[in-house]
Homo-oligomer: A and B are copies of this chain.
Amino acid sequence: MSIKVIVAGFKGRMGSTAVDMIKNDSELELAALLDPFAAEKEIDGVPVFTDKNDLVGLDAEVWVDFTIPKVAYENTHFALENGFRPVVGTTGFTQEQIAELITLSADKKLGGLIAPNFAIGAVLLMEFAAKASKYFPDLEIIELHHDKKKDAPSGTAVKTAELIREARAYKKQGAADEEETLAGARGAEFDGFRIHSVRLPGLVAHQEVIFGAQGEGLTLRHDSYDRISFMSGVNLGIKEVVQREQLVYGLEQLL
Interface residues of A (CB under 8 A from B): 119-122, 124-125, 128, 131-132, 135-136, 138-140, 142, 144, 147-153, 158, 173-175, 177-190, 194-204, 210-229, 231-232, 236, 255
Contacts and interface: CB of A to CB of B under 8 A. Distances in A.
Given A147-B173, A182-B189, A215-B229, A198 B152 contact: no
Contacts of A142: 142, 196, 198
B183 A199 contact: no
In this complex, which of A135, A216, A227 has the most chain B Cβ atoms within 10 angstroms of its Cβ?
A216
Identical copies in the complex: 4
A128 B195 CA distance: 23
Contacts of A221: 217-221
B218 A125 contact: yes
A222 B189 CA distance: 25
In this complex, which of A140, A202, A214 has the most chain B Cβ atoms within 10 angstroms of its Cβ?
A202
Contacts of A175: 147-150, 199
A150 B199 CA distance: 26
Contacts of A222: 216-219
A181 B152 contact: yes
21 contacts: A120-B213, A121-B213, A124-B135, A128-B128, A135-B236, A138-B201, A149-B175, A152-B180, A183-B184, A184-B186, A184-B187, A186-B197, A201-B213, A202-B212, A213-B229, A215-B225, A215-B226, A216-B224, A217-B225, A218-B223, A225-B225
B150 A179 contact: yes
Contact of A184 (B147, B179, B184, B198): B184
A110 B229 CA distance: 48
Contact of A215 (B185, B195, B227): B227
Given A150-B177, A225-B225, A199 B215 contact: no
A78 to B, nearest CB: 30
Contacts of A183: 184, 188
Nearest to A232: B213
